[in-house]
Structure 1
Amino acid sequence: MPTRHLQHAALLALLASLPGCSNDSPGTTVCGTASCSATDTTTTDASTSTPTTGPALCGNAVVDPGELCDDGDDCDDGVCNLDAYTGKEHCAATCGGLYPNWCGDKAMQAQETCDEGGNTPTCDADCTPVECGDGLLNAPAGEACDDGPANSDAYDDTPDQLACNTTCTGTAPHCGDGICQDTHEDATCVDCTCGDGITSAPETCDDGMTGEPTDTPTCDADCTAVECGDGHHNPTTGEWCDDGNLVDTDECRNNCTTCGDGDLHPGEECDDGNDVDDDACSNACIKPRLVFVTSTLHNGALGGLAGADMQCAAAGMAANPNLPATAWRAWLSDDTGSPSTRFDTTFTGWYQLVDGTPIAKGWSDLTDGNLAAPINLTESAAAPVNPLNAWSNTSPAGTTIGTEHCSKWTNSNLDPDGRLGQVTTTDSAWTDANGMVLNPTVCSAGLHLYCFQNTP
């Protein structure tokens, strides 16, 4: 007991000798802002005087007994024990809990422009408005990257160090971005290679795989859109051929189909599998259209052009009973129309007599002033009766010659007149018999009509 009393007296004397300390209050000694016990109820380490428990440890960055948090005293990053706004979530100065105000708590502080608890389409996580170039990546705002002042739209030839572009939507232009930069890249860059599966200018498509150009139903292997007539034969899109020209009567038609293999393909009217052009199926797989002169004679009162067409339709039943009445047209002109306005002028097949004799190949050949043979057979393949003339008023080019049309083919009187052609000739007289004294002739005369098949 005497020994313990001496030890206690010595501790009190030691505390009293420390600067700023007094033992005026029984059991407690005040040392600055820290409370120190003057009793011997707190055990001290014989080798140090630093307490091991209690509030005196606030600031050591360790949550000790009696503390709710402890971020330490280093405030360089804004996270420390402090009763002030730093923008970061941090412990209060007394280690008794978090300081209530910080960026991300969804409560606007004077130092904040916005606070929505993190990245949103309008607010960055640091409580500032979204801005490309601030160095803060905000995915909800549509940013794919943000390198701050380093953002650039300049071409980058070092793909391992790509900068973010100035819209924060991706990296700066570079080889490998899927776009061929013509001023910087050539075929050595994958972006400029047809067959890589990436559509890049000047390509209009690219369906290639593993670098191999490929034909597909929508894209040619040269990375251009499928088009019949481009000279690229693409079987996957149904092309039988493609000779790259606009000649519809050669080996490859303008719809990229072939003719002469004996099989009927789309776009073909026929395919007889031979190379005889002026037979029942041309080398362009077009059926011939029939021509005849009527076996009956008609005066100038034909009922107009429409009435003349009906006369041809009636006779056409004998030429080909499978054709409709609307398939036939009379080679006749007046002020209301002519073959050049009423016929299929795009026809490129053969015109033939009903016995198969070729007359002309297509509209252009029909109207060049000369026929391959005279139109001298009727609908039943018989020779026509005299007179061997047909009403016409039509030029070799298929146009109206003048006003000699029997009052628009409605008059059968001696006056007025109508112009005619000669059925035995192959020159221009077949449609306009200029050398004949009786051309034009009276509308009361009985003449034949030239009849042409106008549709398939």
Structure 2
Amino acid sequence: MCWAPVDPSTTTDSTTDTTTETSTDSSTTGPGLCGNAAVDPGETCDDGEDCGAGVCNSDEYTGEKHCNAACNGLYPGWCGDQSVQAPEACDEGEGTQTCDADCTPVECGDGVLNAAAGETCDDGSDNSDAYDDMPDQLACNTACTGKAPHCGDGVCQESNEDTTCADCTCGDDIVSAPETCDEGMATPTCDADCTAVECGDGQHNPAAGESCDDGNMVDNDGCRNNCTTCGNGIPQMGEECDDGNAIDDDACSNDCVEPRLVFVTSAKFDGNLGGLAGADMKCGTAGMTADPDLPATAWRAWLSDDSGSPSTRFDTAFSGWYQLVDGTPIAKGWSDLTDGNLLAAIDLTETGAASGSPKNAWSNTTTAGATAGAHHCENWTSLEFDNNLKGHFGATSATNSDWTHLGDALLNPTYCNITFHLYCFQTSL
């Protein structure tokens, strides 16, 4: 702009402020002086006549702040004066969330960058969402939120990019050449290196059922040609045992898991067991006879009260065999133990002898290993003969659900001064 105030001493005396007056009277400036782009005596501004730049002495709206045609004041309206006049659609003094700095509504693609409205770029009609393989000449995207898709934007464009672009990596869940699969991790169908599962490729993939993968075809080394190790007679990492045979319910299962022992105590106890902890100690003491090599802490009583149950106190992930002390299989794993049927009754004591009468064991436990109810002799601390204090029990001769919760409502529960056995389970090695 060339307009500027002049020294008052050079102007004529007037009581009227002409700085915003719109007039075509240029008599105070002398012939031909208004419009020469110089503020002459009597003028308060003079922009010249270059309307091509959008600025000139004019009594018309140009959008720019400019001098009027008489050079004696500003034209009273311009974009940015916070007053809307035609042809402005809005005027908030600067770019805002709803109005651009050129006094038009915010619109991505109008070529006006408006950071207040969330735009980071705006190339007008050149905005594009097409993939651009020339990062030095990237266009703005059609949302005005960043550059058009390209290598280096942090997103793998699977239709345009492969692993030569750092945006595409194995594990991003996008199949990019030369990957044959990509599921973000090792899965039953895809290895961690984004190749299809194949035993012998050197990619150990437990999710695909591989116990090992040494990448060779030597069948009698540490990893067999079917990518398994259990059954080769050599206990390895992750195996509790390996007897090299296909007998599942012997001293080592076909999954190379050692069996865990189960017995019913030869001793009988009233309802005052000292709580679950006291019952566990009784099982631990008897367990030293069942297997002297195990610590007393390896045993738990199959017993429930308000504080816990086998489902919360046992190793429910165990998948090996539960066996009596003579090797008789009872169930395979926790799921089989809790399905309502046993392969054999838990009727042998820690010594391997048959349990004595009565052939019952304190339990208060459902088939699923959960607490059966509130009949637990006051959390197994009472031996009182009291109708309000009773305990649930199971039958040691049963293989159906009666083994843990006898289904005779007339007998079960019974008084806490009665003496019954305890079921004891090995829960750790």
The alignment's TM-score, normalised by the length of structure 2, stands at 0.54
Tell me the SS of whatever aligns to 1:395. coil
Letter in 2 for 1:434: G
1:384 matches 2:355: yes
Letter in 1 for 2:271: G
The alignment's TM-score, normalised by the length of structure 1, stands at 0.51
Give the structure 1 partner of residue 327 of structure 2.
356
> Structure 2, unaligned stretches of length 5 or more?
1-125, 141-147, 192-196, 211-226
1: CA distance between counterparts of 2:152 and 2:380?
76
> Structure 1, unaligned stretches of length 5 or more?
1-150, 186-190, 214-220, 245-255
Give the structure 1 partner of residue 267 of structure 2.
296
Cα 1:444/1:178, change in 2 over 3 Å: closer
1:402 matches 2:373: yes
Give the structure 2 partner of residue 434 of structure 1.
407
Give the structure 2 partner of residue 47 of structure 1.
none
Q: Report the alpha carbon displacement of residue 449 of structure 1 after superposing the two structures with TM.
A: 0.3
Cα 1:204/1:264, change in 2 over 3 Å: same
Q: How does 1:72-111 map to 2 (within 5 A)?
A: none
| Structure of greater relative contact order (alpha carbons < 8 Å, 6+ residues apart) | 2
Aligned residues: 275
1:281 matches 2:252: yes
Check conservation: 2:152, 2:166, Cα contact below 8 A: no
2: CA distance between counterparts of 1:409 and 1:178?
62
Give the structure 2 partner of residue 452 of structure 1.
425
Check conservation: 2:230, 2:254, Cα contact below 8 A: yes
Q: Report the alpha carbon displacement of residue 430 of structure 1 after superposing the two structures with TM.
A: 0.7
1: CA distance between counterparts of 2:319 and 2:228?
16
Give the structure 1 partner of residue 310 of structure 2.
339
Cα 1:403/1:201, change in 2 over 3 Å: same
Q: Report the alpha carbon displacement of residue 272 of structure 1 after superposing the two structures with TM.
A: 2.0
Q: How does 1:119-198 map to 2 (within 5 A)?
A: 164-165=137-138, 181-182=157-158, 185=160, 191-192=161-162
Give the structure 1 partner of residue 236 of structure 2.
265
Post-superposition Cα deviations, 1:112-163, rounded to whole Å, max 9, x if no partner, equal: xxxxxxxxxxxxxxxxxxxxxxxxxxxxxxxxxxxxxxx9988689x8x996
Cα 1:450/1:164, change in 2 over 3 Å: same
1:326 matches 2:294: no
Q: Report the alpha carbon displacement of residue 446 of structure 1 after superposing the two structures with TM.
A: 1.9
Q: Report the alpha carbon displacement of residue 241 of structure 1 after superposing the two structures with TM.
A: 7.6
Letter in 1 for 2:407: N
Letter in 2 for 1:446: T
Instruction: Report which stretch shifted further, 232-241 or 397-406.
Output: 232-241
Cα 1:155/1:290, change in 2 over 3 Å: same
Cα 1:204/1:319, change in 2 over 3 Å: same
Give the structure 2 partner of residue 425 of structure 1.
398
Instruction: Report which stretch shifted further, 234-243 or 435-444.
Output: 234-243
Q: Report the alpha carbon displacement of residue 409 of structure 1 after superposing the two structures with TM.
A: 1.1
Q: Report the alpha carbon displacement of residue 274 of structure 1 after superposing the two structures with TM.
A: 2.3
Q: Report the alpha carbon displacement of residue 366 of structure 1 after superposing the two structures with TM.
A: 1.2
Equivalent residue for 2:186, pick from 218, 227, 238: 227
Give the structure 1 partner of residue 346 of structure 2.
375
Q: Which has the larger radius of gyration?
A: 1
1: CA distance between counterparts of 2:424 and 2:204?
38
Post-superposition Cα deviations, 1:29-58, rounded to whole Å, max 9, x if no partner, equal: xxxxxxxxxxxxxxxxxxxxxxxxxxxxxx
Check conservation: 1:257, 1:267, Cα contact below 8 A: no
Cα 1:237/1:266, change in 2 over 3 Å: farther
Tell me the SS of whatever aligns to 1:292. strand
1: CA distance between counterparts of 2:350 and 2:293?
14
Q: Report the alpha carbon displacement of residue 368 of structure 1 after superposing the two structures with TM.
A: 1.5
Alpha carbon RMSD of aligned pairs, Å? 3.9
